[in-house]
Amino acid sequence: MKVTSVADPILPLCQRLFPSRIAGVSLGLLKATALELAILAGHV
């Protein structure tokens, strides 16, 4: 999926900036939000 390939380079950056637990949660939220937006955009 495009969303995953876009988010993957962000993961190492998040891990440097935040503790890995927070980075994992924020990345999960980011992916979920991007996925929702992609679905909504597809329905429009």
Task: Look at residue 21 and tell me if it is in a domain.
Answer: yes
Both tokens of 40, joined, read: 């909504």
Q: Which domain holds residue 25?
A: 2-37
Total domains, the chain = 1
pTM, two decimal places: 0.43
- Say if 44 falls within a structural domain: no
| Paired tokens of 41 | 């955009």
| pLDDT tens figures, 1-44 | 455 566 666 667 656 766 667 767 877 888 889 889 889 888 77
Q: At what angle do helices 20-43 and 10-17 cross, to 10 degrees?
A: 140
**Torsional sign, CA 11, 13, 15, 18:** negative
**Domain-located, residue 43:** no
Q: What is the pLDDT of residue 36?
A: 92
42, part of any domain: no
Q: What is the pLDDT of residue 27?
A: 78
Q: Give the separation between CA 7 and CA 30, rounded to whole angstroms.
A: 8
* Domain assignment present for 24: yes
Asked if residues 31 and 3 have their Cβ atoms less than 8 Å apart, the reply is: yes
Give residue 2's pLDDT.
Answer: 59
**pLDDT computed for residue 20 by the predictor:** 65
